[in-house]
């Protein structure tokens, strides 16, 4: 009998030079499905200096794993990447409510069926219990500095910027009065739960959909965090 196992998305943000090392750790911990992209540290040099970050280019790695794998994976990441030391990066997890059967079979093959049953029995809703949230802000290219200025003024410690392109219906965008500028920036900000509302409000007021930045803001509850002891969140 195949039990439904709780799945987590693990996100690791480290300097670009540590990307291959992080990849090796994931592989050694039986995490075969990995995705990576390149980003930049918090938008401005002024903020980077304030946070004491010496490296601006960042690597983001995304990897779905079973919930039961997270403790050992976090231990390996802490040891291999020194995430317990200042300015080495961070890792966090958030729950995945569904995945294709092919992916779940691959992940479930990594642990005994008895552990899968135990994992499912212990799984419970955590959206209201999360101590951190991941804010994802999509804005027109060139406005990441404005986002971070608003966010830091409201209590955020830092963020990571990723360049992207929007692929959507131009007719729909025009209908809602949104420009069809395809070049976008995505800002990832990990925040403490008690600061989330104020930070989201500040970003929305200064860089919201009706502003020149035309920002779209999402929040995802985070249930596991590693490497935030220095308050340089991303």
What are residue 216's phi and psi, to 5 degrees?
-120, 125
pLDDT reading at 151 higher than 90? yes
As a whole number of angstroms, the distance between CA 114 and CA 160 comes to 39
Instruction: Dihedral sign for Cα 191, 195, 200, 203, please.
Output: negative
Residue range of the domain that includes 142: 132-222
As a whole number of angstroms, the distance between CA 181 and CA 186 comes to 14
Structure-token match 């490296």, residue found: 55
Residue 234 belongs to a domain: no
Confidence class for position 175, pLDDT limits 50, 70, 90: low
pLDDT tens per residue across span 56-109: 688 899 999 988 899 999 999 999 999 888 778 889 999 887 766 767 777 777
pLDDT reading at 226 higher than 60? yes
> Which of these, 164, 97, 155, 157, lies nearest to 137 by C-alpha position?
164
Comparing 48 with 198, which gets the higher pLDDT? 198
> Which of these, 15, 22, 39, lies nearest to 87 by C-alpha position?
15
Residues 110 and 152 in one domain: no
Residues 17 and 109 in one domain: yes
Residues 30 and 100 in one domain: yes
Residue 91 belongs to a domain: yes
How much is the pLDDT for 92? 93
Its pTM stands at 0.73
Confidence class for position 126, pLDDT limits 50, 70, 90: very low
Residues 51 and 157 in one domain: no
Comparing 169 with 131, which gets the higher pLDDT? 131
Region 129-151: mean pLDDT is 89
Structurally, the chain folds into a number of domains equal to: 2
Residue 115 belongs to a domain: yes
Three-state DSSP state, 11: strand
């Amino acid at each position: 009998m195949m039990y439904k196992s709780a799945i987590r998305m693990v996100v690791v943000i480290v300097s670009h030079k540590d990307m291959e090392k992080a990849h090796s750790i994931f592989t050694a911990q039986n995490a075969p499905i990995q995705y990576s992209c390149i980003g930049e540290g918090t938008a401005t040099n002024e903020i980077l200096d304030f946070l004491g970050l010496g490296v601006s280019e960042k690597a983001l790695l995304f990897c779905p794993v079973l919930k039961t794998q997270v403790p050992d994976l976090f231990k390996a990441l802490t040891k291999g990447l020194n995430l317990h030391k200042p300015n080495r990066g961070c890792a966090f997890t958030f729950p995945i409510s569904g995945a294709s059967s092919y992916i779940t079979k691959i992940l479930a093959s990594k642990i005994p069926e008895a552990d899968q049953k135990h994992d499912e029995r212990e799984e419970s809703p955590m959206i209201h219990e999360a101590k951190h949230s991941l804010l994802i802000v999509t804005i027109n290219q060139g406005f990441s500095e404005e986002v971070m200025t608003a966010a830091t003024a409201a209590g955020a410690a830092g963020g990571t910027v990723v360049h992207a392109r929007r692929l959507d219906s131009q007719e729909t965008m025009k209908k809602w009065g949104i420009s069809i500028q395809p070049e976008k920036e995505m800002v990832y900000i990990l925040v403490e739960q008690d600061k989330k509302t104020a930070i989201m409000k500040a970003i929305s007021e200064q860089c919201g959909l009706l502003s020149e930045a035309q920002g779209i803001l999402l929040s995802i509850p985070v249930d596991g965090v590693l490497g935030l002891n220095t308050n340089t969140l991303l």
